[in-house]
Homo-oligomer: A and B are copies of this chain.
Amino acid sequence: MFKNSHSVVKYYFDEFICEGDRVADATAGGGSDTLSLKLRVGQSGFVYSFDIQNEALIKTEKKLNENGITDGYKLIFDSHSNMDKHISEKLKAVVFNLGYLPGGDHSIHTKPDTTITAVEKSLDLISEDGFVIITIYHGGDSGFEERDRLLEYLQNLDNKKYNVLLYNFINKPNCPPMVAVITNEEFLRRKQLGKI
C-alpha cells in the first residue's frame, strides 16, 4: 500500500530496477535518488546523475562516498535537457524530481521547457521494458506552471507508443507531489498477452 509519492517511487525502484541495470537520475538534488539507484543496480550497474548546480553534485558525490561507493556512476554538470549528449546506451529507467534543491536556492528550479525536452529525450533512451518516473512537486515556491505544462505534454503522448499512469494522493492538503510513470505501451500489451 502506498502512503505517499516516496513509497510509489520506492516500489518502482524495488520491483523493476535490477542488479546490472543502467539508469539515470535526471535531477541529482540532494543525491538520495542517485544513492538508491546505485544501491539497486549494484557494482555491475551504472548511474548517470545530472544537475545544473555544482553544489548538488558535490552533495551527491559525498553521499555516495559515505556509503562506500566510489565508482560505477557519473555525475554530470549539465542540464538534463542535454542528456543525449552524455549517454549513448539504453537505460532501464530515468528518474526526475521536479522542483528545487531541498535546502538550496529556491529561485533555481527545473523549468517547463527544459523538463519537457529532457523527458522527450529520456523516452528515446529507455529500453522497451524501461520506464521514466517523475515526481512532480507543485504549489508553494514551485508554482503550478511546470506541472500544468508537463501534464499537458504527457496527456498528449501517443497512446499507441506510451502508457502514462498518474498517481495522485487526492485527499492530502498542501498539494502533495504526484508521480507520473511512462512505460512502453507495446511492451505492456505483449506482456498482457503472455508473449513476454
Which residue of chain B is the closest to A158 with respect to CB atoms?
B171
- In the complex this chain forms, how many copies of it are found? 2
Contact assessment for B7 and A192 in the assembled complex, using a CB-CB cutoff below 8 Å: yes
User: A170 CA to B185 CA in the complex, in Å?
Assistant: 13
Contact assessment for A164 and B159 in the assembled complex, using a CB-CB cutoff below 8 Å: no
Residue among A154, A157, A171, A183 with the most chain B CB within 10 A? Answer: A171
Residue A169 CB within 8 A of the other chain: yes
User: A187 CA to B16 CA in the complex, in Å?
Assistant: 26
Which residue of chain B is the closest to A6 with respect to CB atoms?
B192
Contact assessment for B1 and A183 in the assembled complex, using a CB-CB cutoff below 8 Å: yes
Contact assessment for B154 and A165 in the assembled complex, using a CB-CB cutoff below 8 Å: no
Residue A116 CB within 8 A of the other chain: no
Q: Considering the complex, which residues of chain A in the window 158-196 have a beta carbon less than 8 Å from any beta carbon of chain B? A: 158-159, 162-173, 180-181, 183, 185, 188-189, 191-192
In the complex, how many residues of chain A place their beta carbon closer than 8 angstroms to a beta carbon of chain B? Answer: 33
Q: Tell me which residues across on chain B come within 8 A of A188, comparing CB atoms.
A: 1, 3
Which residue of chain B is the closest to A8 with respect to CB atoms?
B165
Q: Tell me which residues across on chain B come within 8 A of A162, comparing CB atoms.
A: 171
Contact assessment for B163 and A165 in the assembled complex, using a CB-CB cutoff below 8 Å: no
Contact assessment for B183 and A157 in the assembled complex, using a CB-CB cutoff below 8 Å: no
**Extra pairs beyond A2-B165, A158-B171 (18, CB < 8 Å):** A1-B181, A1-B183, A1-B188, A3-B185, A154-B171, A155-B170, A157-B171, A159-B171, A159-B172, A159-B173, A164-B170, A165-B167, A165-B168, A165-B169, A166-B169, A167-B167, A168-B168, A170-B180
User: Which residues of A are at the interface with B, using a C-beta cutoff of 8 A?
Assistant: 1-3, 7, 16, 131, 151, 154-159, 162-173, 180-181, 183, 185, 188-189, 191-192
The 10 closest A-B CB pairs, nearest first, are: A3-B188, A164-B171, A166-B168, A157-B171, A166-B170, A159-B171, A1-B183, A155-B170, A164-B170, A159-B172
